[in-house]
Amino acid sequence: MRNNINNYSEIGALKEVLVHTPGDEIRRISPERLDELLFSAVLEPDEAIKEHKAFCKILEDSGVKVIQLSDLAAETYDQLDDKTKDQFIEEWLDQSEPKLNKELREKVKKFIVSSKNSKEMIRRMMSGVLAEEIGIKQEKALVVDPMPNLYFTRDPFASIGNGISLNSMKYATRRREVIFSKLIFSHHPKYKNTPRFFDSSDSNKSQGTIEGGDIFIYNEKTLVIGNSERTNHEAILSIAKNIKNDPECKFEKIIAINVPPMPNLMHLDTWLTMLDHNKFLYSPNMLSVLKFWELDLTKNDLKMVEKNSSLKDMLKSIIGEEPILIPIAGKNANEIDINIETHFDGTNYLVITPGVVVGYDRNVKTAKALTEAGIKVLTFEGNQLSLGMGSARCMSMPLYRENLKK
């Protein structure tokens, strides 16, 4: 194996996963900026952090190696020479929101580099910078905005087979998050040779936007990608071209699925997830707007060809057997139950091993339906974390899954 990324399915036994337990960045979400920062409400930070730690413990108790983003970024930074370290800090300053004038930039940089160690420095970069922290007085409390969505580690990059997609995020508040993924995959000895099937750092190309919540690996031959508000056709075609040009990549087909913009349904994994070899959880809200396209990676001419198919027939064509479809909130659920459980990410479970999943305990009706379908459901409280609009799948990026036995 040529690198340390291995992700050829949605359900293979999860061995290593990247997460980010939030810190001060979620203490800096003010009510007037909720829409801008992509939150539905102000979080109670201590409870949110406690909830995330409970999530991590479930993973660790299940035999998964849990790697914190801030630890991995700091570990990478520590191995850089002084020039590259400074380049990373300067890049972060370049991307800071709001933009910094020369005087503020110097003060902010001094504050960042005065950190007692690299992990504290990375955390300061993630948390944003308050005026009081750099000894100035101004009307606005923040000199540099926080990155409160970082606990959704699914989105800045995505593991695909033995490579990654280094993503281009749609909204300004999230684009800066990719800097930590770029640091790791450019410089960490374990990951720097990882192939990139999409590379947002390539400034010479207009490749569209794409986020990890839209990227699924159904099996070693098929990718499924949501064509959503945040992932467009242009990006899907870019990934297809790069996969096709990689001689070691064996994917043969990409299925794109329409994800129209609706409240709290920004990615495909808020509509549809694979939980076992033949079991899928979906929101019935998707059926009225269902659309598919197929990209045949074995052909020279890459085109997205629209297909007229039902959800069940499309899934059957991928897995080679009749799928079992489990509706969110269970069979015969009413519109209210469907909408509530969909809103609080009832489809957004993370698979630990085939048929064993983890997600919020607030999705009671969906958990009951899954249990009745033979799925083992591990739950943790997510009343605060869910206000950021994502659950266990959103909060995890698998780095290594065991390959499924053929």
Active-site amino acid positions = 394
Instruction: Round the CA-based radius of gyration of the chain to a whole number and report it.
Output: 21
What residues form DSSP beta bridges with 281?
273, 326
Cβ-Cβ contacts under 8 Å for 193 (sequence gap 6 or more): 2, 3
Tell me the C-alpha to C-alpha distance, in Å, between residue 306 and each of 234, 255, 291: 15, 10, 8
For residue 228, which of 253, 204, 264 has the smallest C-alpha distance?
264
Residue 96 belongs to what H/E stretch?
Answer: none
Residue written as token pair 């000894």: 135
C-beta of residue 397 within 8 angstroms of C-beta of residue 153: yes
Task: Output the CA torsion 274→278→284→286 (10° steps).
Answer: 60
CB-count exposure of residue 369 (10 Å: 0-12, 13-18, 19+): buried
d(CA 232, CA 211): 10
d(CA 111, CA 124): 9
Q: Three-state DSSP class for 38? A: coil
C-beta of residue 14 within 8 angstroms of C-beta of residue 58: no
Q: Rounded to an integer, what is the distance from CA 350 to the centroid of its chain?
A: 11
